[in-house]
């Protein structure tokens, strides 16, 4: 059975995922497919597991530390007012992955989670152009680099 997240990780390993930003110890950083919320980033767990408590303790600690570091980089790269974090599962494996949204006042019709946007979140008009994607990746990678070196 196919896992949508494992499938994307395989594409990264083959050099065929244009959204790929950086490999971490426990996961892969990618720009979110649709940029209705500019700077939206996803952190894919290297383990095809559904829950944090199924991870080995050391791996879990490192996964959470790295997620926090990625979120900090997103915050800095896209000047967020507030980060939103969601750990979801998708596909046959319900493979966990973090959705990291850099939020700004007024970026949704009402204050609150992005889910209020419904299918607007995935409208084709929010797919980044290749140039926009390169810019998003470069900004995020520059902030990640600073935090990793610190
Ligand atoms: Zn998987």
In this prediction, residue 34 carries a pLDDT of 97
Query: First vs last Cα of the chain: how many Å apart?
Result: 41
Answer yes or no: CATH 3.40.190.10 is held by domain 4-149: no
Residues with CB under 5 A from ligand 1 (ion): 3, 5-6, 48, 93, 95
Q: How confident is the model at residue 91 (pLDDT cuts 50, 70, 90)?
A: confident
- What span, in angstroms and rounded, lies between the C-alpha atoms of 72 and 43? 13
36 Cα to the center of ligand 1, angstroms:
26
Question: CA distances (Å), 69 to each of 35, 49, 50, 115, in order?
Answer: 21, 21, 21, 24
In this prediction, residue 121 carries a pLDDT of 96
Instruction: Provide mean pLDDT across the span 125-137.
Output: 98
In this prediction, residue 92 carries a pLDDT of 74
pLDDT tens, position by position, 46-83: 999 999 999 999 999 999 999 999 999 999 999 999 99
Instruction: Provide mean pLDDT across the span 95-100.
Output: 97
Q: How confident is the model at residue 2 (pLDDT cuts 50, 70, 90)?
A: confident
5 Cα to the center of ligand 1, angstroms:
5
Domain borders along the chain are 4-149
Cβ(32)–Cβ(41) below 8 Å: yes
Cβ(8)–Cβ(44) below 8 Å: yes
pLDDT exceeds cutoff 90 at 93: no
101 Cα to the center of ligand 1, angstroms:
22
Beta-bridged to residue 99, according to DSSP, are: 42, 86
134 Cα to the center of ligand 1, angstroms:
26
26 Cα to the center of ligand 1, angstroms:
13
Q: How confident is the model at residue 115 (pLDDT cuts 50, 70, 90)?
A: very high
13 Cα to the center of ligand 1, angstroms:
14
Q: Is 117 helix (H, G, I), strand (E, B) or coil?
A: helix
Question: CA distances (Å), 25 to each of 40, 78, 137, in order?
Answer: 21, 24, 19
In this prediction, residue 150 carries a pLDDT of 81
In this prediction, residue 47 carries a pLDDT of 96
């Amino acid at each position: 059975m196919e896992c949508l997240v494992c499938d994307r990780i395989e594409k990264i390993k083959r050099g065929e995922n244009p959204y790929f930003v950086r490999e971490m110890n426990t996961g892969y950083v990618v720009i979110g497919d649709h940029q209705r919320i500019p700077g939206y980033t996803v952190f894919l767990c290297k383990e095809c597991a559904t829950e944090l408590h199924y991870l080995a303790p050391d791996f879990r600690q490192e996964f959470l530390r790295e997620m926090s570091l990625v979120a900090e980089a997103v915050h800095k790269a896209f000047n967020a007012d507030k980060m939103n974090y969601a750990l979801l599962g998708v596909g046959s494996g319900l493979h966990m992955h973090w959705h990291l949204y850099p939020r700004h006042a007024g970026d949704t019709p009402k204050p609150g989670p992005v889910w209020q946007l419904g299918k607007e979140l995935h409208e084709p008009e929010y797919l980044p152009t290749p140039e926009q994607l390169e810019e998003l990746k470069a900004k995020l990678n520059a902030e990640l680099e600073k935090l990793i070196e610190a």
